[in-house]
Amino acid sequence: MAEGKRARPEPTPETRHFWDGTRSGELRLQRCNGCSQSYFPPRPFCPRCASREISVFRASGKGRLYSYVIHHRPVPGFTPPYAIAVVELEEGPRMMTNIVDCPQTPEALVLDMPLEVAFERLDDEITLPLFRPARGALS
Amino acid sequence: MRPGSIAIIGAAETTELGRLPELSQIGLHADAALNAMADAGLRPSDIDGVATAGETPVSIAHYLGITPKWVDGTAVGGCSFMIHVRHAAAAIESGLCQTVLITHGESGRSGVGRTRPPVSPSSLQGQFELPYGPMGPPTLFTIPVLRYMKTFGLTHEQLAMVAVVQREWAAKNPRATFRDPITVDDVLQSRMIAYPFRLLQCCLVTDGGGALILVAKERARDFPQKPVYLLGTGESVETPMVSQMEDFTTSRAFRVAGPTAFAEAGITHADVDHLMIYDAFAHLPIYGLEDLGFCERGAAGQFIWERNTAPGGKLPMNTNGGGLSYMHSGMYGMYALQESVRQMRGIAPAQVAGARISVCHGVGGMFAASGTIIMTNEAA
């Protein structure tokens, strides 16, 4: 079994909305009001056009498996082997995550498989957005 | 920089490489710097510019007894030294200083006197990558490659071949850490580190250092060694988070740094006799060959498989054995530069006969940064 605790993120004023969102069961992204670009990680301006006129919105929580490695050495909070993955969200941005409810093998972790967000509570403040195979995707 | 206007007139690595617990990080910088000054016949009082990463220019200048008029502390990972070369060339050409010392030292294996700060949990990496269990470069640098493999059909065997070929070069180099021949099967049966990467597809972890000294070409023949001239330079950065690379099958930083250097040098790929591509992991030479334009997108795995970069091939690459077999202290770029200088001086253990132009391409962080230096042994 995993020993120790996984690294805990520390929110900043610019990222607080994201962590407030995961705690309440929402995956929140940001979108530029001017050029409509959706982006991640959080920042209070658009990285494409530099506009400060941006909105926070609730993402669908759906995406696909973009790439990953399966780590075979121990890390606090993880039981090897475990996948460190990147999901490409339906809205466009990509984020690092772990894949749960799925064998951590190359055979089970197929690139482009549909995923959906699965929130994992670490403590009162922090809930992580993990991902699992989308319902109906595994036969 | 005008091509050929700046020369490397001092170059050396630490007296030894490997496991050196008797030297701290700054001690490794100093050992390499003293060797490079001896190589060039210079003393600390002759140096008026200092560039370094890992340590600060302040620490290095004070430790070595140098009073600089110009410093550069660009620290963007393993290609920092390529970028120092570029910045030093600009500084010398514009008259900010005359004689620049660039140093590297790293106690990567023994961990004596290390200065690398931990990643803050409130940084973007700390919030959006670290909670998912990465443990350093073997788990981060490697993440893009499955997407590359799916996009272009790169095979596990082709990825393993990168390590096999570099071991062939290392076998020719008495200073290489690993020199015994290996096969594709050996690589594919070595211990799994982070699928699809096995132990022999990951760089070594060793102690060592290196240093370079640069001057204007007008002074290049005042020193004992054969001068090596800078033909072209390039640099760029992309993202501190590998998960946020624009495209997992190509590095934007490579595609800026490499072509910038080629354009400045005014050369074509056919002019290149010798190539170094920083190989912290086996996929990096593949990305580098493509992003620098030596191969079409998706073709570099087969290019290496067909032994084009191996001893006897048409494009000798990573002729010291690379980070996979020669040495890798953490910020390997300095050792790639040293091998390019040796090749241009004509003194490399695996010397490429008649080589006149060397391209040396570095990466920093996990595809975070890049620097490219093109050298020649012919005066402009």
What mean pLDDT is predicted for residues A62-79? 97
Chain B hits for A8, CB-CB cut-off 8 Å, are 121, 131
Query: Does some domain include residue B188?
Result: no
Query: Does some domain include residue B73?
Result: yes
pLDDT of B76 reads 97
pLDDT at A137 over 80: no
Domain with B18, as residue range(s), is 6-113+204-376
pLDDT, tens only, B67-98: 999 999 999 999 999 999 999 999 999 999 99
What is the domain count for chain B?
A: 1
Percentage of the residues of chain B whose pLDDT score is greater than 70: 100
Q: B118: pLDDT confidence band, cut at 50, 70 and 90?
A: confident
pLDDT of A3 reads 79
Percentage of the residues of chain B whose pLDDT score is greater than 90: 98
Q: What's the pTM?
A: 0.97
Who contacts B349 (Cβ-Cβ below 8 Å, separation ≥6)?
B172, B173, B174, B175, B320, B342
- Asked if the C-beta of A9 comes within 8 angstroms of chain B's C-beta atoms, the answer is yes
Query: Does some domain include residue B241?
Result: yes
What mean pLDDT is predicted for residues B110-124? 91
Percentage of the residues of chain A whose pLDDT score is greater than 70: 96
pLDDT at B46 over 70: yes
User: Distances in Å between the alpha carbon of B324 and those of B201, B313, B327, B328?
Assistant: 7, 19, 7, 7
pLDDT of B358 reads 98
Q: How far apart are CA B142 and CA B187, in angstroms?
A: 16
Q: Between chains, do B132 and A66 touch, taking CB under 8 Å as contact?
A: no
What mean pLDDT is predicted for residues B284-293? 98
Query: Does some domain include residue B140?
Result: no
Chain A hits for B252, CB-CB cut-off 8 Å, are none
What mean pLDDT is predicted for residues A53-68? 98
ipTM of the complex: 0.97
CA angle B132-B298-B365, nearest 5°?
Answer: 40
Average pLDDT, chain A: 95
Task: Give the DSSP H/E element, type plus range, for residue A22.
Answer: helix A16-23
Query: Does some domain include residue B166?
Result: no
pLDDT of A139 reads 41
Query: Does some domain include residue B145?
Result: no
Query: Does some domain include residue B154?
Result: no
Query: Does some domain include residue B153?
Result: no
Q: Any catalytic annotation for residue B229?
A: no
Domain containing residue B215: CATH number:
3.40.47.10
pLDDT, tens only, B166-182: 999 999 999 999 999 99
In three-state secondary structure terms, B18 is: strand
